[in-house]
Amino acid sequence: MGAVAAQATTEIRALAQILDELDYYNVLEITPDASASEVRAAYHRATRRFHPDGHRQIGDDMRPVLGRIAKRVAEAYSVLRDPRRRQVYDQQIRGDSARVRMPLVQAEAEAERQSRDARLGKTPNGRRYFVLAQADVARGDKVAAERNLRTALTFEPDNGVFKDLLGQLRGKR
Amino acid sequence: MATAIGIDLGTSNSCVAIARRGRVEVLENSYGEPISASVVHFGDDGTSLVGNQAKACAVQDPENTISAAKRLMGRYFFSEEVKKAKAVCSYKIVEGPNHSVRVKVREQALAVPEISALVLREMKEIADARLGQPVCQAVITVPAYFNDNQRQATRDAGRIAGLEVLRLLNEPTAAALAYGFGKGLAQRVAVYDLGGGTFDISILEIGSDVFEVLSTCGDTYLGGEDFDDRVIDLLAEEFQAQHQINLRKDRYALEKLKVAAESAKKALSADDETRIQIEGVAKTPEGAALSLERTLTRVEFAALVSDLIQRTFKVCDEALQQANLTVRDLDGVILVGGPTRLPLVREAVEQYFQREPKTDVDPDQVVAMGAAIHAAALVGEEQESRLLDVTPLSLRIGVAGGLAETIIERNTPVPIEQTSVFTTFKDFQQSVRIRVYQGESRRAEENELLGEFEFSGFKNARRGEVRIEVTFEIDTDGIVKVTARDPDTAQAASTQIHLSSGLSEEEIRGLIDKHHAPAAPSAAPGLETSGATLAAVASVAANPPALAGAPADPFDALNACAGEIEFDAEQLEAAANIPLEGPADSAFELDPAPLEIGAAAAPSGGGAGDAGEIELDGAGADDALDVLDEADLDSLAALSDDEAASAAEDSAPEATTQRRAAPAGGLFGSPDSDLSIFGDEDDEI
Ligand SMILES: Nc1ncnc2c1ncn2[C@@H]1O[C@H](COP(=O)(O)OP(=O)(O)O)[C@@H](O)[C@H]1O
Ligand SMILES: [Mg+2]
């Protein structure tokens, strides 16, 4: 094994040892304020160093180690490249510094929940009456819809979506 | 010195190339043709012929001429694709073990990878002859949209052909590599690959030596052959109107129509109109020979196929959306595939992408060239490029009620790994069964089943107390591997899901021998274990019928009516997704309520509850699923039973919805608060 390969092996070993303690930013060696293009550049940089294809000469014992790093790099990237997932992740690591990984599906579900909240309301009761109002609209019962929307607004007075629908209903009548 | 080739194993045509001394070279067959038809003809003397000569046999000997076998690769016998193929194929397609597909030729039932192996072997032999030395390593390309079953089948085919498959490379990625290799580009490109039977689109970012796939989408039912079909329809209809003879019913006439339609289509790539002429295509009842003659113009042809071309752009929309880009963000479009030679296609592409497509790559050869470049890099003969690909389809796990939950989203970069934690559903449950799917539907049966396995041997405990960590991995070939582990005892079992090529490891070895190929180094899939105590405690069915104690045939359950779904659900209940690490209050969000469909034996609601389960009754279930999206379900969770039922009725009149209890507490392992989902509430509450 040449000096370069030996150096690479040492580097890979060292990284693998602490991998589970690194958050996604650490994994990609960027700061939490990195821009989207910095995230991408970091991903490319990391894969240049750690993609198994680049280490043909490496010992068989090191292959799984390298594989672990490569997979973590991809995982980090798949969260940080997506603004919605990244936002959720940022909240998570801020709240709980021990949590450095996030199931990707959780990231997606969480991101979806947030955008849904924005759409449908933040409180269970707000959502509840909003859904009922939508059902009323679908059925053509505008009076009931208005009543339900007004109830929904008592839980979330600032909800723009609720207000919009109410405005539309009033406009139609 | 190692010599590794790149092979584009196409539905219609295959091509082989090599990269050496800084040059990429397409290797021509003995007739001097750069591409060879992916057609195998089986002669009556037991020999087989591959390539354009084999294709020419289709007219006289359609039963023994196998074309487009790739369409059948990794497909289940009952799949739509196979049904479709059965309707149009001139050869006999029969069912093999494990619901696999076999092709019946000359009293032999051949597995599909076996046929593809003959094509691959031909490519290998072309290379052997051109290079003057035997080649044994190759990168083989696959459509980006291929699922795991199709990829496994392709790998099997490579092994049967006596090749060590260094990598399965996605075709569009290969094309981008051939286009951008060594140019130090910084570009965002779309690869538009319209082949014989499939359409693929990938969006890539090229940053000098890094080729990152941003998204990939495809349609496995769309290609040049569909264009031919439209022409055949036109000709057959006109002939029927004129002579009251249905040419589609006559196998020989149909083969002649196919040939004529394809050559007319190709001619329209160069000319404004073309003459179609088939002598003696049919006979009158009196025995007089009838001919078919007609001129087809570009305008007529355009009218026949423009909707098919427009369909490709729907897929492009999706790919751009997945990449969060618009056509304006792209720097170029690369065309791949025979049909992209049609001016009609080029113009449509130019219009959609608002730029002229690149013309400096050969649409028929670019994929093989990219494969060759990568092959050379993998054996150290060529400068390296990093190919950062994505998984084209979401990876899912089956859960209660016939649903499939996402574990890894589509377009996630590979290699990737995800671990989810599951638990048992019943007290002292002995085993869990894990079904793995690929696809974009929440309903399990609408996705491709990759396989299933059973995990057992964990501690004997009350439900919810056992933790089972399941790790899903997708490697750089896009191949899926699943590992289950009991973190308390560190017992583990892993399997490379391997089901639908229909070939067991043993069968593959048998075929390698049969075809006298030198055995390639084994990448033995199948049972792989770690931990000394494992064999005794874990049972993993990589290939269900082949292993003792394997679970029942998954499709018996899949095809089942309501009663059997209950059985199914009972089994799968054990696999309800339980992310133990998640915060309790978000449990419902993370684990969308399981839906039970067509529940004949639906028990009444669990009363109290804050819910986890909704049942949709009867025929309206389909609609209801569309109408009630997750957000609705979530909102409904806050309603009382009655309100929920009426709200659901309002939005989906044919469905009755019942709230069922599965409180978050239960999901997080306090079994006492977990209520029965399948009716025997007495012993469950
Ligand atoms: N010059 C051409 N003009 C139009 N279509 C063509 C031309 N050459 C080949 N084709 C069509 O291209 C299809 C095969 O494309 P190809 O890229 O080789 O497919 P695959 O990659 O699926 O094997 C066939 O349907 C064939 O008729
Ligand atoms: Mg192709």
Running DSSP on this structure, what letter comes out for residue B679?
S
3-class state of residue A72 by DSSP = helix
Chain A residue whose CA is closest to B627: A135
Task: Give me the pLDDT at residue B132, please.
Answer: 96
- B653 contact A CB<8A: no
Cβ atoms of B259 and B58 closer than 8 Å: yes
Name which residue sits closest to atom 11 of ligand 1, judged by CA: B338
Q: Of the candidates B413, B631, B632, which has its C-beta nearest A77's C-beta?
A: B413
Mean pLDDT of chain B: 76
Cβ atoms of B105 and B114 closer than 8 Å: no
- B609 contact A CB<8A: no
* CA–centroid distance, residue B441 to ligand 2 (Å): 27
Residues A125 and A110 in one domain: no
Q: Average of pLDDT values for B14-24?
A: 94
Task: Looking at mean pLDDT, say which of A83-92, B127-136, B381-390, B671-680 comes out highest.
Answer: B127-136
Cα atoms in the 13 Å half-sphere on the side-chain side of B414: 27
Label the pairing between strands B35-37 and B13-20.
Answer: antiparallel
Domain edge (last residue) among A119, A134, A158? A119
Closest CA to B453 of B525, B515, B506, B346: B525
Cα B654 to Cα B57, B233, B561, B627, B651, distances in angstroms: 55, 40, 19, 11, 9
Q: Of the candidates A43, A74, A124, which has its C-beta nearest B638's C-beta?
A: A124
Distance from CA of B536 to the nearest CA of A (A): 26
pLDDT of residue B179 exceeding 70, the answer is yes
Q: Average of pLDDT values for A153-165?
A: 86
* CA–centroid distance, residue B268 to ligand 1 (Å): 13
Structure tokens at B294: 């007609």
Cβ atoms of B14 and B374 closer than 8 Å: no
pLDDT of residue B374 exceeding 60, the answer is yes
Cα dihedral B25, B29, B32, B34 sign: negative
Cα(B592)–Cα(A90) distance, integer angstroms: 23
Cβ atoms of B167 and B139 closer than 8 Å: yes
Q: Of the candidates B379, B409, B416, which has its C-beta nearest A108's C-beta?
A: B409
Phi, psi of B223 (to 5 degrees): -170, -175
* CA–centroid distance, residue A109 to ligand 2 (Å): 36
Phi, psi of B91 (to 5 degrees): -105, 170
- B528 contact A CB<8A: no
Domain edge (last residue) among A119, A139, A157? A119
Cβ atoms of B217 and B315 closer than 8 Å: yes
Helix, strand counts (H, E) of chain B = 20, 31
- B246 contact A CB<8A: no
Residues A60 and A115 in one domain: yes
What are the structural domains of chain B? 4-222+311-388 (3.30.420.40), 224-304 (3.90.640.10), 391-498+542-685 (2.60.34.10)
Ligand nearest to the CA of B346: 1
- For the segment B451-491, what is each residue's pLDDT rounded down to a tens digit? 887 888 778 888 778 888 888 999 998 889 888 888 777 66
Q: Which of residues 54-93 of A touch B (CB under 8 A)?
A: 54, 56, 67, 70-71, 74-75, 77-78
| B613-616 long-range Cβ contacts below 8 angstroms, 24+ apart | B613/B400, B613/B401, B613/B659, B613/B660, B613/B661, B613/B662, B613/B677, B614/B648, B614/B657, B614/B658, B614/B659, B614/B660, B615/B656, B615/B657, B615/B658, B615/B660, B616/B652, B616/B655, B616/B656, B616/B657
The predicted model scores a pTM of 0.75
**Residue A74: its chain B contacts at CB < 8 A?**
412-416
3-class state of residue B675 by DSSP = coil
Task: Give me the pLDDT at residue B664, please.
Answer: 25
Ligand 1 atom nearest to CA at B171: 21
- For the segment B201-231, what is each residue's pLDDT rounded down to a tens digit? 999 999 989 999 999 999 988 999 999 999 9
Residues A57 and A100 in one domain: yes
Is B183 one of the annotated active-site residues of the chain? no
Residues A102 and A125 in one domain: no
pLDDT of residue B175 exceeding 90, the answer is yes
Q: Of the candidates B205, B212, B635, which has its C-beta nearest A120's C-beta?
A: B635
Name which residue sits closest to atom 9 of ligand 1, judged by CA: B338
Q: How far is CA B593 from the centre of its chain?
A: 27
pLDDT of residue B138 exceeding 80, the answer is yes
pLDDT: is B308 or B499 the higher one? B308
- B630 contact A CB<8A: yes
Residues A108 and A130 in one domain: no
Give the helix, strand, coil percentages of chain A, each rounded to 5: 80, 0, 20
Cα dihedral B267, B269, B271, B273 sign: positive
Ligand 1 atom nearest to CA at B268: 3
Task: Give me the pLDDT at residue A58, please.
Answer: 81
Q: Which of B8, B11, B12 for a ligand 1 pocket mutation test, highest count of atoms within 8 Å of Cβ? A: B12
* CA–centroid distance, residue B617 to ligand 1 (Å): 47
Per-residue burial over B391-428, b if 16 or more Cβ lie within 10 Å, else e, is bbbbbbbbbbbbbbbbbbbbbbbbbbbbbbbbbbbbee
pLDDT of residue B70 exceeding 90, the answer is yes
Residues A74 and A17 in one domain: yes
Label the pairing between strands B491-496 and B448-456.
Answer: unpaired
Q: Average of pLDDT values for B562-575?
A: 29
Task: Give me the pLDDT at residue A129, please.
Answer: 83
Q: pLDDT grade, residue A54 (50/70/90)?
A: confident
Cβ atoms of B465 and B440 closer than 8 Å: no
Residues A98 and A161 in one domain: no
- For the segment B257-291, what is each residue's pLDDT rounded down to a tens digit? 999 999 999 999 999 999 999 999 999 989 999 99
Distance from CA of B626 to the nearest CA of A (A): 15
Q: Which of B229, B266, B305 for a ligand 1 pocket mutation test, highest count of atoms within 8 Å of Cβ? A: B266
Q: Which of residues 446-505 of B touch A (CB under 8 A)?
A: 473, 476
CB distance A128–B632 less than 8 Å?
no
Answer whether the bond into residue B415 is a cis peptide, omega within 30°: yes
Catalytic residue among B114, B171, B364, B477: B171
Cα(B94)–Cα(B86) distance, integer angstroms: 9
Among A56, A69, A89, A106, the strongest candidate for a mutation testing the B interface, having the largest count of B CBs within 10 A, is A106
Residues A70 and A85 in one domain: yes
pLDDT of residue B552 exceeding 70, the answer is no
Chain B residue whose CA is closest to A129: B635
Is B70 one of the annotated active-site residues of the chain? yes
Q: Of the candidates B406, B589, B651, which has its C-beta nearest A135's C-beta?
A: B651
Phi, psi of B576 (to 5 degrees): -55, 135
Per-residue burial over B470-509, b if 16 or more Cβ lie within 10 Å, else e, is bbbbbbbbbbbbbbbbbeeeebbbbbbbbbbbbbbbebbb
Domain edge (last residue) among A119, A137, A154? A119
Pocket of ligand 1 (CB under 6 A): B 10-13, 195-197, 223-225, 262, 265-266, 269, 337-339, 341-342, 364
Chain A to chain B, count of Cβ pairs less than 8 Å apart? Answer: 117
Ligand nearest to the CA of B174: 2
Q: Average of pLDDT values for B382-411?
A: 89
Q: Average of pLDDT values for B579-605?
A: 26
Name which residue sits closest to atom 13 of ligand 1, judged by CA: B196
pLDDT of residue B517 exceeding 60, the answer is no
- B321 contact A CB<8A: no
Is B405 one of the annotated active-site residues of the chain? no
Task: Give me the pLDDT at residue B451, please.
Answer: 85
Cβ atoms of B432 and B575 closer than 8 Å: yes
Distance from CA of A123 to the nearest CA of B (A): 10
Task: Give me the pLDDT at residue A96, please.
Answer: 63
Q: How far is CA B229 from the centre of its chain?
A: 23
Residues A36 and A53 in one domain: yes
pLDDT: is A171 or B152 the higher one? B152
- Those residues with Cβ within 8 angstroms of residue B228's Cβ, 6 or more apart along the chain or in another chain: B258, B261, B262, B265
Task: Give me the pLDDT at residue B596, please.
Answer: 26
Q: Into how many domains does chain A fold?
A: 2
Catalytic residue among B70, B256, B265, B481: B70
Question: Where in the sequence is the domain holding A110, given as residue range(s)?
Answer: 3-119
Residues A152 and A80 in one domain: no
Length of chain A: 173
- Those residues with Cβ within 8 angstroms of residue B522's Cβ, 6 or more apart along the chain or in another chain: B159
pLDDT of residue B65 exceeding 90, the answer is yes
Is B8 one of the annotated active-site residues of the chain? yes
Task: Give me the pLDDT at residue A107, please.
Answer: 58
Among A4, A20, A50, A53, the strongest candidate for a mutation testing the B interface, having the largest count of B CBs within 10 A, is A53
Task: Give me the pLDDT at residue B586, please.
Answer: 23
pLDDT: is B24 or B510 the higher one? B24
Catalytic residue among B122, B193, B205, B615: B193
Label the pairing between strands B468-474 and B332-336.
Answer: unpaired
Task: Give me the pLDDT at residue A116, please.
Answer: 67
Q: Average of pLDDT values for B493-519?
A: 65
DSSP string, B166-207: EEEEEHHHHHHHHHHTTTT-EEEEEEEEE-SS-EEEEEEEEE
- Those residues with Cβ within 8 angstroms of residue B494's Cβ, 6 or more apart along the chain or in another chain: B481, B482, B483, B484, B528, B529, B530, B540
Q: Of the candidates A67, A116, A128, which has its C-beta nearest B638's C-beta?
A: A128
- For the segment B240-249, what is each residue's pLDDT rounded down to a tens digit? 999 999 999 8
Q: Average of pLDDT values for B157-179?
A: 96
pLDDT: is B482 or A105 the higher one? B482
CB distance A105–B409 less than 8 Å?
yes
Task: Give me the pLDDT at residue B597, please.
Answer: 25
Q: Which of residues 328-387 of B touch A (CB under 8 A)?
A: 377-380, 384, 386-387
Residues A113 and A128 in one domain: no
Residues A100 and A27 in one domain: yes
Residue A69's CATH number: 1.10.287.110
Q: pLDDT grade, residue B1 (50/70/90)?
A: low
Structure tokens at B390: 């994505």
Residue indicated by tokens 């592409």: B349
CB distance A104–B409 less than 8 Å?
yes
CB distance B406–A131 less than 8 Å?
no
